[in-house]
């Protein structure tokens, strides 16, 4: 006995604690995926242009991320994130400017996609980012791209081709789907940019700075129209910025600190599923059979490859 407690009791309690911790982490990452998926749902409820939605989303995200960043100011840094020469404040903001500009393109194209093609095509078009990341990494750092990554890219591309409504850009669904692809491409560019130039910076700080940049860049387009927002649109916009941006990003970051990236990626890949199911339940937005088939191919490819990588690294 140790301090009056039997060894098996210590083991049982530690296992119970770890089990509960793991459950909380899994629930957190699922909640983050669900909130990410609700982005398209909420944007359809906001009676405003994509520029206004992007601007308002950034305002509320900054309002959430700033106090979180302040609360975590005294937390010890992760030793794996320490570098010999940390970024100066000036260089950090310069890099966040580039990343924030890409984020503007990502959000605006995604909201245009949702408004014109619906939640299903928009979110599945956005999920093409997994293939685009492989293509961009092949140009930037070819050694990091594996054969498995190329297989995923080919399968995702096949799913996207199957989902394409038509070859006529005059078709609203086709145009919206292309905007979804542009959203996925810009998100992939931002992910690679962040992984190479902002990897050693607190991700909450990066997200806050990026949203500040988005606010400044979109102010000229959004401010003239912001007063036309109805109280109900302001409410949906607040939910979008607070929960689907600030809270979801924080949950994602905190989950990554406690579980493997590949495991988190398996859950985040379910974002389109959450979005499509929510759109079906709330708006009776039923996707076509081609959309469902293409979506299953894309999601299966992302989950399958991530699972294979998880097994290899375990």
Domain assignment of residue 232, yes or no: yes
Give the pLDDT band (50/70/90) at residue 74: low
Residue 64 has pLDDT above 80, yes or no: yes
Domain limits at 261?
29-72+85-313
For the question of whether the overall pTM of this predicted structure is more than 0.85, the answer is no
Q: How far apart are CA 139 and CA 189, in angstroms?
A: 11
Could you identify the residue written with the tokens 């399958």? Answer: 304
Least confident of 107-121, 189-203, 259-273: 259-273
Q: What percent of the chain has pLDDT over 70?
A: 76
Domain assignment of residue 1, yes or no: no
Q: How far apart are CA 7 and CA 51, in angstroms?
A: 61
Q: What are the tens digits of pLDDT across the range 148-207? A: 777 777 877 777 777 666 656 567 888 998 999 999 999 889 888 888 888 788 888 999
Least confident of 12-26, 59-73, 164-178: 12-26
Give the pLDDT band (50/70/90) at residue 61: very high
Beta carbons within 8 Å of 144's beta carbon, 6+ residues apart: 137
Residue 31 confidence (pLDDT): 87
Could you identify the residue written with the tokens 């242009």? Answer: 49
Average pLDDT over residues 235-247: 93
By residue count, the chain amounts to: 314
Domain assignment of residue 118, yes or no: yes
Q: Which two tokens mark 139? A: 């140009």
Domain assignment of residue 226, yes or no: yes
Average pLDDT over residues 55-77: 84
Could you tell me which of 41, 84, 9 has the C-alpha nearest to residue 239?
A: 41
Domain assignment of residue 242, yes or no: yes
Top mean-pLDDT range of 65-69, 248-252, 280-284, 306-310: 65-69
Domain assignment of residue 3, yes or no: no
Top mean-pLDDT range of 20-24, 143-147, 304-308: 143-147
Residue 116 has pLDDT above 80, yes or no: yes
Could you tell me which of 70, 115, 76, 123 has the C-alpha nearest to residue 250?
A: 70
Mean pLDDT of the residues in the chain = 79
Domain assignment of residue 21, yes or no: no
Average pLDDT over residues 285-290: 78
Domain count, the chain: 1
Domain assignment of residue 37, yes or no: yes
Residue 78 has pLDDT above 60, yes or no: no
């Amino acid at each position: 006995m140790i301090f009056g407690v039997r060894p098996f009791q210590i083991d049982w309690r530690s296992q119970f604690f770890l089990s509960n911790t793991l459950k909380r982490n899994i629930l957190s990452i699922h909640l983050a995926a669900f909130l990410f998926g609700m982005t398209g749902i909420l944007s359809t409820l906001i009676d405003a242009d994509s520029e206004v939605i992007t601007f308002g989303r950034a305002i509320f995200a900054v309002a959430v991320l700033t106090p979180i960043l302040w609360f975590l100011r005294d937390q010890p840094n992760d030793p794996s994130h320490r570098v010999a020469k940390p970024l100066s404040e000036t260089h950090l903001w310069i890099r966040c400017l580039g990343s924030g500009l890409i984020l503007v393109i990502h959000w605006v194209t995604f909201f245009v996609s949702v408004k014109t093609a619906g939640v299903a095509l928009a979110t599945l078009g956005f999920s093409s980012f997994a293939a685009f990341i492989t293509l961009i990494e092949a140009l930037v750092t070819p050694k990091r791209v594996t054969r498995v990554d190329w297989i995923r890219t080919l399968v995702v591309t096949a799913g996207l081709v199957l989902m394409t409504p038509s070859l006529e850009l005059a078709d609203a669904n086709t145009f919206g789907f292309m905007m979804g692809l542009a959203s996925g491409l810009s998100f992939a560019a931002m992910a690679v940019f962040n992984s190479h130039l902002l990897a050693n910076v607190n991700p909450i700080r990066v997200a806050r700075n990026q949203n500040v940049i988005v606010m400044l860049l979109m102010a000229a387009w959004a401010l003239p129209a912001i007063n036309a927002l109805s109280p109900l649109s302001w409410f949906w916009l607040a939910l979008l910025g607070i929960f689907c941006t600030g809270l979801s990003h924080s949950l994602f970051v905190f989950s990554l600190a406690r579980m493997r990236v590949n495991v988190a990626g398996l859950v985040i890949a379910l974002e389109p599923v959450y979005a499509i199911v929510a759109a079906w339940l709330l708006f009776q937005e039923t996707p076509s059979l081609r959309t469902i088939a293409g979506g299953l191919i894309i999601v299966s490819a992302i989950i399958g490859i991530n699972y294979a990588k998880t097994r290899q690294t375990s």
